[in-house]
Amino acid sequence: MAQEYDLVILGGGTGGYVAAIRASKLGLKTAIVEKRELGGTCLHRGCIPSKALLRSAEVFKQTKEADRYGISTENPTLNFTKVQERKQSIVDTLHKGVQGLMKKGKIDVFEGFGRILGPSIFSPTAGTISVEMNNGEENEMLIPKNVLVATGSRPKSLPGLEIDGEVVMSSDEALHMEELPESIIIVGGGVIGIEWASMLADFGVKVTVLEYLPHILPTEDEDISREMLKQMKKKGVDIVTSAKVLPDTIEKDNGVKVDAEVDGETVTYEAERMLVSVGRSANVDNIGLENTDIQVENGIIQTNDVYQTKESHIYAIGDVIGGMQLAHVASHEGMIAVEHMADQNPHPMNQDQVPSCIYSNPEVSSVGLTEKAAKEKGFDVKVGKFPFQAIGKALVHGETDGFVKIVADKESDDLLGVHMIGPHVTDMISEAALAQVLDATPWEIAETIHPHPTLSEAIGEAAMAVDGNQIHG
Ligand SMILES: Cc1cc2nc3c(=O)[nH]c(=O)nc-3n(C[C@H](O)[C@H](O)[C@H](O)COP(=O)(O)OP(=O)(O)OC[C@H]3O[C@@H](n4cnc5c(N)ncnc54)[C@H](O)[C@@H]3O)c2cc1C
């Protein structure tokens, strides 16, 4: 028999499960339909497992360099099986945690593939949801007042460069490698490509990155992108920009070979494996959108600023609506959507207040406009930059590469953007995000007393440097 709900969520990733908890706290009778595992990409194939591997790579690198800190270690070796086991146990622990949260919130979880059927007499607003159950039992029918589509995304490839999961991998397969290759070609120098390049180089793999655009990390501030290029080269990563990979030339025989057009010449690249990280496609297929008036443009679901689709009782959030494809964005959008369903009048999200992070070594974090974007928007900008080299705690840590850069409006003194590269900057960006939310000026950031010695002093100094008032530089 069909079951009735206030809300049925398609997809139990970071967007879907957080929305479910918020809905349950707001008193909505809620169900989640999940075809794989609760936690989605972020927990099982994204943020968490990749950061667990990055941490092992960092420890390995630091151990090899321990002599710098006065500690002798005899020839440290890597046990990659243990690295993978550690990663998996972190994922499993968090997975259990999410399952527990669903029980605590009295959220019903249906394990299967969900589809929206058209509106019916039972569900004239949001349409019935049919769930093809993973256990082979008869389809469940769910009758919701509202639906939230949170079906996420999957890795994309280039035509002709098909993922075979062995030699040519996406990040999904790379996370499960049993052994490290001696060498790898990474196609795509965006966030995922650079995190993998950093990690694999720190593990001792010979890495070549082929990036189509003239810069790696093309969405970051150009100073950050340039510094990352320098740091990756220092690690021994071979980065080739403006490189057009020619998929038809791929040969897989005892490894992989592919040609790329670089500066008008054709160059052949060769490695044991290849990782393709050229973006992600939204999961919009086969979920019944054709039974609705929901609009899909360029492969992503279109919504308004509280995440309603053209069908006002069907909302969509997270990677499936494109934009900043980040876990914290998906969950924040989920909370806004649910609050709107519950008549809570939520604030729409302001993209300029959303921090984004890259967990390579060195790390990168940013919030707001890059210098270039600010200029393109017509701002007359002033910039403050402060290097970690002049920060005592960075010397103590033994990690002095990188800087904090603050972009502000000359006329109003408004903060426009904060960009950092260096040690632990992903843990430091929340101060800048709060400053953006509170509309703080660089002067107010500088007036905030930063404890000594901390890496956060670089933010205070960069804020002072906006008007040339930095102390230690
Ligand atoms: C390698 C990698 C590293 C990343 N690192 C970070 C990071 O450090 N920080 C960060 O913020 N973001 C990171 N991301 C991005 C982040 O993982 C995504 O932005 C986030 O997972 C999006 O959440 P979501 O809920 O929209 O979708 P997903 O997490 O993809 O969840 C969607 C869920 O829906 C399920 N589903 C799909 N269709 C159906 C259906 N019809 N019926 C039932 N279930 C369905 C899927 O099985 C999946 O579990 C990373 C991504 C990758 C690939």
Question: What are the structural domain ranges in the chain?
Answer: 3-154+281-341, 157-278, 353-465
* Ligand 1 contact, 36 CB (< 6 A): yes
Grouping H, G, I as helix, E, B as strand and the rest as coil, residue 143 is strand
Q: Which of 463, 437, 438, 436 is nearest to 448 (CA)?
A: 463
Burial of 29 (0-12, 13-18, 19+ CB in 10 A): middle
What DSSP character marks residue 296? E
Residue 152 annotated in ligand binding: yes
Residue 194 annotated in ligand binding: yes
Q: Which residue has its alpha carbon closest to ligand 1 atom 53?
A: 46
* Ligand 1 contact, 16 CB (< 6 A): yes
Considering the four listed CATH numbers 3.30.1330.10, 1.10.1060.10, 3.30.70.1110, 3.50.50.60, the one that applies to the domain covering 157-278 is: 3.50.50.60
Grouping H, G, I as helix, E, B as strand and the rest as coil, residue 328 is helix
* Ligand 1 contact, 42 CB (< 6 A): yes
282 contacts: CB under 8 Å, gap ≥ 6: 151, 152, 153, 299, 300, 301, 319, 320, 321, 322
Closest atom of ligand 1 to 320 CA is 26
* Ligand 1 contact, 150 CB (< 6 A): yes
Distance of CA 439 from the midpoint of ligand 1 (Å): 31
User: What is the assigned CATH class of domain 353-465?
Assistant: alpha beta
pLDDT of amino acid 119: 73
Q: Which two tokens stand for residue 177?
A: 């490698």
Distance of CA 14 from the midpoint of ligand 1 (Å): 7
Q: Which residue has its alpha carbon closest to ligand 1 atom 21?
A: 42
What is the pTM for the complete model shown? 0.97
Distance of CA 84 from the midpoint of ligand 1 (Å): 20
pLDDT of amino acid 415: 98
Please give the Cα distance from 459 to 384 (Å, whole number). Answer: 10
232 contacts: CB under 8 Å, gap ≥ 6: 194, 197, 198, 201, 209, 216, 239
Residue 306 annotated in ligand binding: no
The pLDDT averaged over each successive group of 10 residues in the chain (473 residues) is 93 98 98 98 98 98 96 95 98 98 98 90 80 96 96 94 95 97 98 98 98 97 98 98 96 95 96 97 97 96 98 97 97 98 96 97 98 98 98 97 98 97 98 97 97 98 97 92
Instruction: Point out the residues that are catalytic.
Output: 452
Q: Which residue has its alpha carbon closest to ligand 1 atom 51?
A: 46
Distance of CA 470 from the midpoint of ligand 1 (Å): 41
pLDDT of amino acid 128: 93
Q: What is the DSSP string of 2-30?
A: -EEEEEEEE--BHHHHHHHHHHHHTT--E
Contact 345, 178 (CB under 8 A): no
Strands of 50-103, DSSP E: none
Distance of CA 368 from the midpoint of ligand 1 (Å): 23
Give the mutation target among 132, 147, 148, 151 for probing the ligand 1 site: most ligand atoms within 8 A of CB: 151
Distance of CA 261 from the midpoint of ligand 1 (Å): 33
Please give the Cα distance from 432 to 413 (Å, whole number). Answer: 15
Give yes or no on whether 3-154+281-341 and 157-278 have one common fold: yes
How big is the chain by its Cα radius of gyration, in Å?
Answer: 24
Contact 409, 416 (CB under 8 A): yes
* Ligand 1 contact, 325 CB (< 6 A): yes
Residue 473 annotated in ligand binding: no
Burial of 444 (0-12, 13-18, 19+ CB in 10 A): middle
Tally Cβ neighbours within 10 Å of residue 156: 16
Q: Residue type at 455?
A: L
Distance of CA 12 from the midpoint of ligand 1 (Å): 9
How many DSSP H helices and E strands does the chain contain? 13, 23
Q: Which two tokens stand for residue 408?
A: 């502000």
Residue 311 annotated in ligand binding: no
- For 399-419, b/e burial (b = at least 16 CB within 10 A) is bbbbbbbbbbbeeeebbbbbb
Q: Which residue has its alpha carbon closest to ligand 1 atom 5?
A: 47
Closest atom of ligand 1 to 36 CA is 47
Residue 65 annotated in ligand binding: no
pLDDT of amino acid 127: 82
* Ligand 1 contact, 455 CB (< 6 A): no
Helix 327-341 to helix 14-25 angle, to the nearest 10 degrees? 30
Q: Which residue has its alpha carbon closest to ligand 1 atom 6?
A: 47
Q: How many angstroms separate the Cα of 64 from the Cα of each of 67, 79, 167, 468?
A: 8, 14, 29, 40
pLDDT of amino acid 249: 95
**Phi and psi, residue 262, nearest 5°:** -130, 125
Distance of CA 45 from the midpoint of ligand 1 (Å): 8
Q: Which residue has its alpha carbon closest to ligand 1 atom 34?
A: 11
Q: How far apart are the first and last CA of the chain?
A: 71
Largest CA distance in the chain: 75
Contact 380, 244 (CB under 8 A): no
Please give the Cα distance from 435 to 367 (Å, whole number). Answer: 10
Q: Which of 472, 469, 467, 462 is nearest to 223 (CA)?
A: 462
Phi-psi domain of 187 (left: phi exceeds 0; alpha: psi -120 through 50; beta: other): beta
Q: How many angstroms separate the Cα of 359 from the Cα of each of 76, 119, 363?
A: 23, 44, 5
Please give the Cα distance from 255 to 272 (Å, whole number). Answer: 4
Q: Which residue has its alpha carbon closest to ligand 1 atom 12?
A: 326
pLDDT of amino acid 124: 75
Residue 319 annotated in ligand binding: yes
Residue 211 annotated in ligand binding: yes
Closest atom of ligand 1 to 33 CA is 43
Please give the Cα distance from 147 to 240 (Å, whole number). Answer: 45
């980040």: which residue's tokens?
326
User: What is the assigned CATH class of domain 3-154+281-341?
Assistant: alpha beta
Please give the Cα distance from 358 to 363 (Å, whole number). Answer: 6
